[in-house]
Structure 1
Amino acid sequence: MAKGKAQDLFRSKAPWIMALLMRDFKIAVDDAAAIVGNLGHESGGFASLQEAKPAVPSSRGGFGWPQWTGPRRRKYEAYCARNALNPAGDQANYGFVFSELKGSYRGAIPKLLAAKGLAAKVKVFELAYEQAGVKHYASRNQWAAIALDA
């Protein structure tokens, strides 16, 4: 359940992240909310960038807004090093989400646009981009609704 400081942080960031997504990918507000809802679920409303209890024992776990793991985490860290960005910073997180959605995960946006309704958009984006081991769609949908409200 999203509440307290995490929800306040999420509400402060969701509108500008959504605005960038809408500008950069020519998507509608509900498409942007579905993306931000997924990111909000993964990062506890942008408050928990490091996965607390990694699903893969002895791994470093997920990191960043979408909780990049394994090879994706290493690519993210290399991106940050190349661009002299703080891995915990908003610029680095948005920049790498942007680069993935323009690159190796570019198929996620057309699938998002084809889905009808916020819950369907949340699910399609999770399947095409997040590829989470445990789905938690109720939480993703809740964060997406908060993003729309914010």
Structure 2
Amino acid sequence: MQVKPALGVIFALCMLAIVFWQQTQFEIKAPDSTFITITGEQIELHELRGQPVLVTFWASDCRVCIEEIPDLIALHEQFAGKGLQIIAVTMPYDIPSRVKQLSEMHSLPYAVALDIDGTHAKAYGNVSLTPSSFLLSREGRVVSRVVGRFDFADWRAQIDAL
């Protein structure tokens, strides 16, 4: 039975492919997006070059997204003075009035943008799971991507290093 060694080789090759894929994913330039916030403000991503940016896709009906809000507020409070911009982008199916209500209820200090037609979700790799967050370097490159709840200490360290 030579099955076990063959499975080990296949597993090792799969792990190498995953590591390579993850590394290449973070070498891409972020899409040049224009976000429209719930207050009507227009944010041109290319105008934020020179600053770290956190783009996070969320939904008002996503429990983990709501649980993440205090961590996002804490990141904003800690790093806004150092240039960090946070843009929370709602999913296309989200109801704008519900998004506004949640934003006011939690006194969100960062930008909240609507993605009515799914343009932003598509530009960021067809985002369909929330939360999905992308940390962009000062040069506009995706340096980290997390699907699901992010690790606050890890992101704080990554942002601090930018």
Which has the higher Rg, Structure 1 or Structure 2? Answer: 2
Structure with the larger helix share? 1
TM-score, normalising length: structure 2: 0.26
Indicate the structure with greater strand content.
2
TM-score of the superposed pair, with normalisation by structure 1: 0.27
